[in-house]
Chains A and B, each alone.
Chain A
Amino acid sequence: MTGILGTLAEAWDEVRVHKSRVLLSLVGVFLAVFAMTSVTALGLMVAQVQQELAERSGGRAATVAVNAWDPVTGMPPAGEAWDAAVAELVQRYDIATAATIAYGETRFRMPGGTMPVQTRRVSPNYGDLHRVEPIEGRWFREGDRESLSPSIVVNEAFLTALGVPDLSSRPTVVIGGADPVRATIVGVVREGYAEELVAYRIDRSAGPWDAAAAVDPATAMYGGPSTLELWVPADQTDLVTETVKHDLSLALGGELQVDAYRTDPQGAEETIAMLRLAIRGAGTVVLVLGGLGVLNIGLVTVRQRIREIGVRRSFGATSGRIFAAVMLESVCATALAGLLAVGAAIVLVRNLPLERLLNNGIPIADLPGFPVAAAVEGMIAATAVGALAGLLPAIIAVRAKVIDAIRF
């Protein structure tokens, strides 16, 4: 036991005494491990951001969209029949998250006059399914359906057009039409291009104005729950798709056309994985170059230390002990560089404004913490480089003849 401690102490002593040389030799290793670890960690986070970006439009993996319409008239099913059929389906298959979305146009009375705005009428679950993260306020709740004032969530351009800087004044906006109603803005999202106005409206409210036709007679045909979205296990997508089509068609009388298809993005992970692989390849090359630097300095140093090695042999150091000490010196040094590099990578990654850089300032819903695997990989890579770079100097140290070494 004390033999192992002694070897470690000896190696550490060398690192401590030759700080400058060790530091110089480790710059390359530090940079390489830092780059590799940071890239791995950032890669995971970028992948998550990309995933969330894609899921914001297509839904989480796996989202199955379901539409039903009369193949003759093109009209959607009656709202009540649709709701009953969907409720039964969701209950029967114990589907945890189901959302509805309908596209339409709503006329909002803005300070400059009434403006038609593309509006999505959604159920509260839509936010979970599409990872909607308001930058201010909140997303819809189930309780919003009971409100006499319909809740809406708008984008920043909408707020600007309304002449409201933020939600601190609890702003409202009048929805025009046959039965105008004052809607309450409960949240702000960062969406839309340039000055495009975007609005989400809770799918159902308690007031009489909630009839589809009351919203906008011109778009009445789109006022129903035109699309149902189901969040299902990815490996059961095909089964769910077929089952939903079959069951809903039967529940709606068998005369309606029911279509179901997967909408969440697929293939993004492969792209990200390829990108990560390429960057890690570059990191490996840098690591090898850094390792060559350590090896080079290690070779020069061991020749300068021949006398010292001879003296240590006179103390009773065995060949194995000399080998281990020289080898461990390199390993200790690179492991230390690895540790510092991993630490620096953690500091960097944790302090990068990822939301601003990658996600247009939108909060990232499930931002992963610094991946332990990346830190472990970095440490292993640094230690391995140390072991490889220490091998040759250690062999030279052992092969030195003690007598010659002392006279050196």
Chain B
Amino acid sequence: MSLLELRGISREVRLPDESVLPILTGVDLDVAPGEHVAIVGRSGSGKSTLLNLLGLLDTPTSGSYLLDGEPTDRLSARRRSRLRGEVFGFVFQQFNLLPRRTAAENVAAPLLYARGRDYLRRRSTAREMLDRVGLGARADQVPERLSGGEQQRVAIARALVRAPRVVLADEPTGALDVETGAQVMALLAQATAENGAALVTITHDLSVAALAGRRFRLERGHLSPLVEAGALGAATSDRGPA
């Protein structure tokens, strides 16, 4: 059974002039546990919107989204928030680390919303995660004193600290140079694989997309499998942000 199952998902937004702008149209997608999926597409193609829908940060206008077989459209706001924290881990292009908190505090932050032992052991768990991404020695540094690559590794540790079943990565290498990006992406793929988590990556980078087991192209709100290298190149020719 699929962990994430999207059927005929559409997302529209109403513009100030009352016209309707379709962002996603009839999107079908299945993500199995532990699977690595990449989604590529031009700027404005709806990649981030799709990721927000997957992560329960947004709701579709129509269509069905089953999370582990459970329809998400009937979930209360509270339940959605809890599931978001328990099932998903997010990695953002701009890292989005909490300023003026140390790396360890940043990694421990999601565990503030956990319960029981996970909450109580949050500090030691955070340090263990930082060890795993090779930043144990920099646990007490604030983000402002870390390089871009180190910051993204902290963000990866943070995304994985609650042992999520799915990691959603929005342009995880977008703010990094090629070499660092490759290292970070390799770490992300390895860490999620070790955790048994599925990884859904949005990227412009062909090499990043190539790491995925399945690749999709998102164009004008339509999602389709990406099979040809030429098509992949056409889909990612625009290097602007998604």
Residues of A within 8 A of B (CB): 2-3, 5-6, 9-10, 13, 17-18, 307-308, 310-321, 402-403, 406
Provide the residues of chain A in CB contact with B138, threshold 8 Å.
Answer: none
A315 to B158, CA, bound (A): 9
For A316, the chain B residues whose CB sits under 8 A away are 81-86, 110, 113, 162
Whether B109 and A312, one on each chain, are in contact in the complex, defined by CB atoms closer than 8 angstroms, is yes
List, in ascending order, chain B residues with CB within 8 A of A321's CB. 81, 113
Is A2's CB under 8 angstroms from B119's CB?
yes
The reply to whether A3 and B115 form a contact with Cβ atoms under 8 Å apart is yes
Chain B 105-144 residues near chain A, CB threshold 8 A: 105, 109-110, 112-116, 119-120
Query: B64 interface residue, CB < 8 Å from A?
Result: no
Is A318 a contact of B82 with CB atoms below 8 Å? yes
The answer to whether residues A2 and B57 also contact, given A319-B77, A403-B52 and a CB cut-off of 8 A, is no
Q: Could you name 18 residue pairs across A and B whose Cβ atoms are closer than 8 Å?
A: A2-B120, A6-B113, A6-B119, A10-B112, A17-B100, A311-B92, A313-B81, A314-B57, A314-B90, A316-B84, A316-B86, A316-B110, A316-B113, A317-B85, A319-B77, A319-B81, A321-B81, A406-B96
Instruction: Please tell me the number of chain B residues within 8 Å of chain A, measured between CB atoms.
Output: 31
Q: Which residues of chain B are near A2, meaning CB under 8 Å?
A: 114-116, 119-120
Residues of A within 8 A of B52 (CB): 403
Chain A residue contacts of B105, Cβ below 8 A: 13
Contact of B109 (CB < 8 Å), options: A18, A315, A406: A315
Counting CB contacts under 8 A, is B178 at the interface? no
Q: Could you say which of B83, B113, B115 contacts A315, with CB atoms under 8 Å apart? A: B113
- Secondary structure class of chain A's binding surface, majority of residues: helix
Query: Which residues in B have their C-beta under 8 angstroms from that of A314?
Result: 55, 57, 84, 88, 90
* B interface, CB within 8 angstroms of A: 52, 55, 57-58, 77-78, 81-86, 88, 90, 92, 96, 98-101, 105, 109-110, 112-116, 119-120, 162
* Interface secondary structure of B, over-half rule: helix
Known A2-B120, A3-B115; contact A311-B96, beta-carbon cutoff 8 A: yes
A310, A316, A406 — most chain B CB neighbours (10 Å) = A316
Query: With A18-B100, A315-B84, A316-B85 given, can you name 19 additional A-B contacts, CB distance below 8 Å?
Result: A5-B119, A6-B113, A10-B112, A17-B100, A307-B96, A308-B98, A310-B96, A311-B92, A311-B96, A312-B109, A312-B113, A313-B57, A314-B84, A316-B81, A319-B77, A319-B81, A403-B52, A406-B57, A406-B92
B82 in contact with A403 (CB, 8 Å): no
Given that A17-B101, A314-B84 are contacting pairs, would A403 and B57 also be in contact in the complex, using a CB cutoff of 8 Å?
yes
Point out the residues of chain A lying under 8 angstroms from B92, CB to CB: 311, 406
Name the CB-closest residue of A to B99: A308
